[in-house]
Amino acid sequence: MVSAAVMLSVVLALVWLLWLARDVGSRIASSRWIGALALALIPVWLYLVAWYAPIEAVQGIIQKIFYVHIPAIIPTYFGFVLAAIGGALYLRTRDDRWDQLAVAGAEVGVVFCTLMLLVGPIWAKPAWGHWWVWDLRLTTTLMLWFIYVAYLFLRSFAFGSDTAKTFTAVYGIAGIAAIPFVYFAVDLAQGSTLHPSNPAREGLPPEMGRTVGVGMITFIWIFAWLVAKRLELASLQARALVASRVGGA
Amino acid sequence: MPWVVAAYAVTAVVLVGYALQLRAARSAALRDQQRRS
């Protein structure tokens, strides 16, 4: 039930973002409803974390960190997949709106990936006794983060250039090849990893599963709202760039 | 407990910080647009 709601949220958020990217200027008002939805979900998620999900028998209270760490994975992957979708649509149409969607997806994806990489060590220190270990899951996640930070650097160094847009579109499509390595890292490590396996396969108790699910749905809508705001900014900056070129001519 | 509080505080700082940064950039872009028009 909760996993179906998570999937539905991903599909609805994707459809809405594709619709929004086609005409940000006149459709951005719809982001208020998405922002309100995300804001309404936050207290529900926090309530479930604090009072509904039981304290895990082995790890104790620190296991509650999972309810922010695990949900951050979905927007991370979503953002990078959005960068690939936007990149593919840009290569096909040469329409700047899809390029703006790709950059927005990559940037907000990096924000959530950063969050995941910051929160993970806060759990690891009391659980493992180390902030970081060069485990396959952790290393591949860090590699994924570097891939998309490099993407954003490329864009910031070559603002407005068509060559940069084409190059980053191809780079964004190629970049998602790293996602399966991160997702299946625990399986690939064949037992030589400290990182817990994917929660979908662990079979969490129902209260914990529902709390993780509501956390994922909350983060998906926060992600969608942030991408919308980033798209609006890109649209404003593109208009300013055109105006400056017209003014300078 | 302090680890849990730290994790949720970091989450709030990252997400709210990014949203505020977007808002500041949007205001700057709008100001720029008004100055040009």
Contacts with A243 from chain B: Cβ below 8 Å: 33, 36-37
Whether B1 has its CB under 8 Å from any CB of chain A: the answer is yes
Pairwise CB contact (< 8 Å): B10 & A122: yes
Strand partners, A60: A56
The reported pLDDT for the residue numbered A239 is: 81
Pairwise CB contact (< 8 Å): A61 & B32: no
Token pair 């749905």: residue: A217
Pairwise CB contact (< 8 Å): A233 & B7: no
Mean pLDDT by 10 residues, chain B (37 residues): 92 96 92 78
The reported pLDDT for the residue numbered B1 is: 81
Given a cut of 70, whether residue A202 has pLDDT beyond it is no
The reported pLDDT for the residue numbered A201 is: 54
Given a cut of 80, whether residue A190 has pLDDT beyond it is no
ipTM for the predicted complex comes to 0.93
The reported pLDDT for the residue numbered A205 is: 83
Whether B11 has its CB under 8 Å from any CB of chain A: the answer is yes
Q: Average pLDDT of A86-92?
A: 94
The reported pLDDT for the residue numbered A159 is: 65
The reported pLDDT for the residue numbered A191 is: 65
Written in H, E and C, the secondary structure of chain A is CHHHHHHHHHHHHHHHHHHHHHCHHHHHHHHHHHHHHHHHHHHHHHHHHHHHCCCECCCEHHHHHHHHHCCCHHHHHHHHHHHHHHHHHHHHHCCHHHHHHHHHHHHHHHHHHHHHHHHHHHHHHHHHCCCCCCCHHHHHHHHHHHHHHHHHHHHHHCCCCHHHHHHHHHHHHHHCCHHHHHHCHHHHCCCCCCCCCCHHHHCCCHHHHHHHHHHHHHHHHHHHHHHHHHHHHHHHHHHHHHHHHHHHC
- Per-residue pLDDT tens digits for A113-169: 999 999 999 999 998 888 988 888 888 899 999 999 999 998 887 766 888 889 899
Given a cut of 60, whether residue A248 has pLDDT beyond it is no
The reported pLDDT for the residue numbered A53 is: 86
Given a cut of 90, whether residue A69 has pLDDT beyond it is yes
Pairwise CB contact (< 8 Å): B32 & A240: yes
- Per-residue pLDDT tens digits for A95-128: 989 999 999 999 999 999 999 999 999 999 998 8
pTM score > 0.80 for this model? yes
- Per-residue pLDDT tens digits for A1-42: 778 899 999 999 999 999 999 988 888 889 899 999 999 999
- The Cα A76–Cα A142 span in angstroms is 12
